Amino acid sequence: MTRLLSALAFAVLAIVAVAQTPAPAITQLFGFPCDSTLTQCPDGSFPQGFIESADGNFYGIASEGGTGLNSQGSIFKITPDGVFTLLYSFAELSDGSLPNGASPTSLVEGLDGNLYGLTLVDGANGVGTAFKLTKSGTITLLHNFCNTISCNDGAYPSFITQGIDGNLYGSTGPQNFPTSVIFRMSPTGTFKVLHTFDSKAQPDGLGAFNMVQLPDGNFYGTTVAGDHLKPWNSVFRFNPTTSAYTILHPFNSPNNNLPNVAASGLTYASDGNLYGLRVGSILYRITTTGTYHEIGPMSSTQATDGDLTQASDGNFWGAFFLNPGIVFSSTLAGKVLENITTNPNVNGEEPFGIRQAADGKLYGMSNLNGGPQNGQPTNGSFWVIDAGLAPPEARIINFQPTSGEAGSTFLLQGSHFVGTREVAINGTSATFTVLTANFIRVTVPSGASTGKISVTNAGGTTTSAKAFTVQ
């Protein structure tokens, strides 16, 4: 009986200990220092996003600040332990012009190892630019956006990514028709408009939160809210080859005091479905054919734009971009596991950009404030959450071409490729180069036979759904 009571007591204590386990902490790694007026910020301020690079570092953008004459934004490198390097500042020339643009909005690592990005304004026509930046800080202007009758290629570019065909795809806007478009641009700057958003003609919206390329080769995304007199925005599918554009789900106009509109980009989850957030902190699921299901609220206090990613534990981690902001985790079924409120004076406010890196930790940014950096006040922070998660397995989305002979190469598309240890075709190890977090260049090995592709990293080994044909 004594042993039984002791066992029961131990079990109760264990349950209480689990119930009282504190939420993971948000730890600031770097605060963007400014002067006492928060106007002189030599490293940049109002950080707007970052990417994980093949070299294991992070590269990001800040929409204001930097060095030089009236600088209006910066691009930087930051290591996983918070060592910061300023790469480039969008500073005025002596004549007051900003030929390379100002206020960067989006960044992607190209297959060539360079960074490609967009600025919201300025450039030759005042409505934004596209640029290439080496990791040593040398910038090349690729495109000046223009929105007139003679050069209707959109204005105020906001999002860019790279497709498996090697081209860059992006969106401009949100602004009124016809400034919001989907475009394709080669790494050398050859530019073409593929689709023009028009919220007045259909439940479309203006511009895109993001676009993710899936195994079918199509991009999927959500549009930003458009004309308030029409259904505000939508989930869409876009074919980069034919430019076919399909609305999969139209969101409705305001419902009482809470608009029923998309409030985040899409996340491609391990169950093969797409997930997103709508205003009101509502998590939803949608299939590639448009079957839509609302799951439930992730917070009772946040009703604004959000951010979402799936981590190695299979759960979602995300944030709500509001003062002070909430970082949350939930199951795919919508059960909330964590709700962590940010602290403006410790790790900033308006959190966003959460992504799990190769080390298993979750990294993110806060757009405003933050803890002091070297004794100075800050305006924006870069932070980490160590939730004890395992390193993420690689995920294979697609490969191109789908066949080849020994010695030929193909491009493997997916995620979490940083730190890849081995790539094999039907069990035969191949020579490979990790180009970005999402792309690997693979050489077909001698002696390989037709079969599935496997990728091994610190998180384990993952295998492609379809086979590569060895000729």
Asked if 143 contacts 129 with a C-beta cutoff of 8 angstroms, the reply is: yes
Q: Is the peptide bond before 250 cis (omega within 30 degrees of 0)?
A: no
Q: How many residues does the chain have?
A: 471
Q: Which residue has the tokens 């570019």?
A: 157
Per-residue pLDDT reduced to its tens digit, 356-408: 999 999 999 999 999 999 999 999 999 999 999 999 999 999 999 999 999 99
- Going by the DSSP 8-state scheme, the letter that residue 126 receives in this structure is S
Asked if 139 contacts 123 with a C-beta cutoff of 8 angstroms, the reply is: no
Separate counts of helices (H) and strands (E) for the chain: 1, 36
Measured CA to CA, the distance from residue 378 to residue 399 in angstroms comes to 43
The token pair that represents 130 in the structure block: 């596209």
- Going by the DSSP 8-state scheme, the letter that residue 252 receives in this structure is P
Other Cβ atoms within 10 Å of 338 Cβ, number: 15
Q: Is the pLDDT of residue 211 over 90?
A: yes
Per-residue pLDDT reduced to its tens digit, 259-288: 678 889 999 999 999 999 998 889 999 999
Angle ∠(229,232,234) on CA atoms, nearest 5: 150
Q: Which three-class secondary structure state does DSSP give residue 462?
A: strand
Task: Please give the pLDDT value at position 10.
Answer: 44
Q: Is the pLDDT of residue 469 over 90?
A: yes
Domains of the chain: 24-385 (2.130.10.10), 395-470 (2.60.40.10)
Measured CA to CA, the distance from residue 359 to residue 371 in angstroms comes to 24
- Going by the DSSP 8-state scheme, the letter that residue 3 receives in this structure is H
Q: Which three-class secondary structure state does DSSP give residue 5?
A: helix
For 145-297, strand residue ranges (E) read: 157-162, 168-172, 181-185, 191-196, 208-213, 219-223, 234-238, 245-250, 267-268, 274-278, 282-286, 292-297
* Burial class of residue 407 in the structure, from the number of CB atoms within 10 Å of its CB (0-12 exposed, 13-18 middle, 19+ buried): exposed
Instruction: Record the pTM.
Output: 0.92
Lowest mean pLDDT among 18-22, 134-138, 263-267, 326-330: 18-22
Name residue 292's amino acid: Y
Per-residue pLDDT reduced to its tens digit, 80-90: 999 999 999 99
Asked if 182 contacts 220 with a C-beta cutoff of 8 angstroms, the reply is: no
Which are the contacts of 190, defined by CB distance < 8 A and separation ≥ 6?
A: none
Per-residue pLDDT reduced to its tens digit, 10-33: 444 444 444 456 789 999 999 999
Q: Which residue has the tokens 């699921």?
A: 285
Identify the bridge partners of residue 211 per DSSP, sorted by sequence position.
221
The token pair that represents 166 in the structure block: 């090697």
Task: Tell me what the pLDDT averaged over the chain comes to.
Answer: 91
